[in-house]
Amino acid sequence: MEVRCAICGKLENIGKVHKDYKKMLANPQSVYICEMCNTKLQYQASKDNEIKKNA
C-alpha cells in the first residue's frame, strides 16, 4: 500500500507487517508519518519534556 508521510511528503510502500498497515487500511484518510519523522518527533517530544522539567 502506498502512503505519503504527512510531514516530509515522502511516498512509502508499506506491507502487511507494517505497524500502521491496518490503521491505514481501515482509514485511508488517517495521517501517516514515516519512520524517520516519527523518530524526529519522539526526539523533539523528549527534548520538550526535559525543558519543562528543568523550567
Residues forming contacts to Zn ion in the complex (CB under 5 A) are 5, 7-8, 34, 37
Residue with smaller CB distance to Zn ion, 9 or 52: 9
Residue with smaller CB distance to Zn ion, 6 or 50: 6
Shortest Cβ 34–Zn ion spacing (Å): 4
Give the long-range contacts of residues 32-36, CB within 8 A, separation 24 or more: 32/3, 32/4, 32/5, 32/6, 33/5, 33/6, 33/7, 34/5, 34/7, 34/8, 34/10, 36/8, 36/10
Residue with smaller CB distance to Zn ion, 8 or 25: 8
